[in-house]
Structures are given as C-alpha cells and as structure tokens.
C-alpha cells in the first residue's frame, strides 16, 4: 500500500487529489496538510466527502510529513516547495509538485515570469516534467516530478505531433485557450465572483500569461530548437474545463513520389495516430467532430482533433480536458502510478460526467 500525503489539501486541486486517491486500490492517504484550515475537519471543508474522510487538517510541515509517507503531493502556490525542499527530504520521499517551481529548466525564466526568487535551484535539473505521454520512462525513476499546468498540458499535447514531425512552421504557432473558473483557485478574488464571471467571457494575461514559457520550453524540445508562441487565455463561465484552439502555417513536406507539397489531412492524422494511437487517456475524435469541455468533465481524458485549412495553408488543432483532473490532480496520480510501478490508469478510470 502506497502511503500518501497532500500539502495544500484544501485547494481545488488538493480536494480533487483526495477524491481520486480514495478510489485508488493501492493508496492510503495518511496526512492532509492545509495552512489555512489547521485542526479543522476535512469533511467540513469539503462536504462532498462527509463520512468518507474523517481526517483533521494538519499544518504544512514537509519535513515531518516525509517521515510518514512514500509520496507527497504539493498542491501549493508557486514558491512554497522551492522554499522548503532539502536533500534530506527528497532522499526519504518522492514528490509530485503541482506548482510551477520545477517545471522550467532555466531559473532566470522562472524568476522573470513568476516574479519570485527560486530558493532551491539545485533540484531543477533532476526534476522530471510530468507530462506522462511524453516523458513516461523518465517519470518512473524520478524523485521529484513537476506536474504540468492545465493550459500547458492541453496546448502541448494538441500541438506536439505537428511540431515533432516538422509539419508546421513553428514560428507561426498561436494558441487561443479558455478555462473554467476553478483554474484560478479557491481563494476569494473579485474578478472570479459569480456576478463578474456569469454571462461573460474575458481575456486575461494577454501576451504575459505564466504558462507561456512552459509551453515554449516543451515544444522547443520537440522542434529541436528554441521557439516562441502567441498564447492568449480566456476565462469562461463554467466550473471546469480547458478548451484550446491552436493555429499554425503548414510547412512543405516530401511526398511519397519525392515531390514537395503541403501535408495532406491524411499525413496530419497519421502523425496524431503515431504518437497517441495507443494512449489510454488521449482520445482522437472522428473527422469533423471537435472537442468539447463537457465531454471530458470529471475525467482524465484529453480529446483532440485537427483540421487542415487548405484554402489558407494552415492547420487548426484543438484539445479539451478537465483542468482539475488531467490538468492537475489526475495527471499527478498518473505520475504517481508510474513512479511506484502501478498500472498507469489505476484510480483514473473515470467516465466523464454528462450533462
């Protein structure tokens, strides 16, 4: 039985972690840490877990928690884990961090985008970026996994085959993304009040959203060179969900007869089948069917599809996922399963909710 602890257990991602781990056949949650709710019954914070969780919230003492468990999930604000992580801790316990502290390999990029000093850069190099479909084998042996962000998971997976196979001009990549309000966290913020969000759509973080360098870094690995993207997120009046629509100009590719031409829709589809055809949590939709957030709600699935716009020589690629599951807690559990030799889908065989 894997003994798990959660720091930041009362945020939305932390609450989702508890829900998912309760359904895992081989995990026992030993410790729920929450700086905001010390000594408060967890089921009084999340009443959906009444009679299911009897624990009381403890503090966020990482060193103490490391003595009691095999894996720690840190669903905490940026800067927390970097400020407390030590070699003694990572030598005792494996960590899946849901913040951005160890996602970016260049500490100067992290500090520029997150506006905080990184307190433990010595762990950045060994941290594994936990996008399971791309880094599965490296995750298995990792001590420290940097769980990807929600926008980034959807954006990277939606574009990856096109970039990796050299089918597009990567300098033309544009991402237009929408998120449900739970992506902003559980804290009280005026822009996220019901009256501010309901019956409204709005862009934010235009040309400066903090997930931008994360998408750029991972797709740069796929491209084999540094690239820059345009990324614009929007807040949508829904609880959960990420919908990404991306655009790029197609690049001429060699055809079977040796001539050069823009990739056909058959070639584009083949690229997605090559990378995702056997993936348990990526669903390639039928031709002409476009992803919808409702079809993945409450699940660990990512729905993808792509359209070649021959008229303008561009490709439109789309993805949808649940930001709290595959975009956060579900992916964290998927990473844990790989780290401990469990079936990758254990605890995550969730049928999407509808309606």
Half-sphere exposure of 52 (CA within 13 A, CB side): 13
Question: In a 3-state reduction of DSSP, which class is residue 337?
Answer: helix
Question: In a 3-state reduction of DSSP, which class is residue 195?
Answer: helix
Q: How far is CA 244 from CA 63, 115, 151, 316, in A?
A: 38, 26, 8, 10
Question: In a 3-state reduction of DSSP, which class is residue 42?
Answer: helix
Between CA 50 and CA 59 the distance in angstroms is 21
CB-based contact 154:140 (threshold 8 Å): no
Structure tokens at 63: 């060193």
Widest Cα–Cα separation across the chain: 71
Between CA 198 and CA 238 the distance in angstroms is 8
Structure tokens at 279: 């993936």
CB-based contact 334:346 (threshold 8 Å): no
DSSP code string of 253-311: EE-TTS-EEPPPHHHHHHHHHHHHTT-SSEEEPPTT----GGGTTTSS-EEEEEEEETT
150 tagged catalytic: yes
**Considering 57, 150, 154, 195, which one is annotated as catalytic?**
150
For Cα atoms 129, 26, 59, give the angle at the middle one, nearest 5 degrees. Answer: 65
Burial of 141 (0-12, 13-18, 19+ CB in 10 A): exposed
**Residue partners of 144: CB distance under 8 A and separation at least 6:** 85, 90, 94, 95, 97, 102, 123, 126, 127, 128
Q: Residue 309 forms beta bridges with which residues? A: 314
Active site residues: 150
């Amino acid at each position: 039985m894997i003994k798990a602890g959660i720091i930041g257990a009362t945020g939305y991602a932390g609450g989702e972690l508890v829900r998912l781990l309760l359904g895992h056949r081989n995990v026992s949650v030993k410790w729920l840490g929450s700086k905001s709710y010390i000594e408060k019954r967890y089921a009084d914070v999340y009443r959906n877990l009444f009679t299911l969780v009897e624990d009381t919230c403890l503090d966020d003492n990482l060193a103490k928690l490391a003595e009691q468990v095999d894996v720690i999930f840190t669903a905490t604000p940026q800067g927390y884990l970097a400020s407390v992580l030590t070699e003694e801790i990572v030598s005792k316990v494996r960590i899946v961090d849901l913040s951005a502290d160890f996602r970016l390999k260049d500490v100067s990029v992290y500090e520029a985008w997150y506006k905080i000093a990184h307190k433990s850069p010595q762990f950045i190099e060994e941290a594994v970026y936990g996008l399971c479909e791309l880094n599965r084998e490296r995750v298995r042996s990792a001590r420290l996994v940097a769980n990807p962000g929600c926008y980034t998971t959807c954006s990277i997976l939606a574009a990856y085959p096109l970039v990796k196979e050299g089918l597009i001009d990567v300098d033309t990549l544009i991402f237009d993304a929408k998120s449900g309000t739970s992506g902003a966290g559980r804290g009280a913020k005026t822009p996220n009040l019901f009256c501010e969000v309901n019956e409204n759509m709005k862009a934010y973080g235009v040309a400066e959203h903090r997930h931008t360098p994360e998408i750029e870094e991972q797709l740069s690995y796929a491209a084999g060179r540094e690239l820059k993207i345009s990324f614009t997120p929007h807040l949508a009046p829904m609880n959960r969900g990420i919908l990404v629509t991306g655009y790029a100009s197609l690049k001429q590719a060699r055809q079977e007869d040796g001539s050069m031409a823009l990739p056909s829709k058959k070639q584009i589809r083949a690229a997605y089948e090559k990378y995702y055809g056997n993936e348990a949590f990526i669903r390639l939709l039928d031709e002409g069917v476009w992803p919808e957030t409702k079809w993945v709600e409450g699940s660990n699935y990512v729905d993808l599809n792509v359209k070649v716009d021959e008229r303008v020589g561009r490709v439109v690629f789309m993805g949808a996922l649940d930001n709290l599951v595959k975009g956060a807690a579900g992916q964290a559990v998927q990473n844990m399963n790989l780290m401990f030799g469990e079936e990758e889908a254990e605890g995550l065989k969730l049928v999407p909710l509808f309606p």
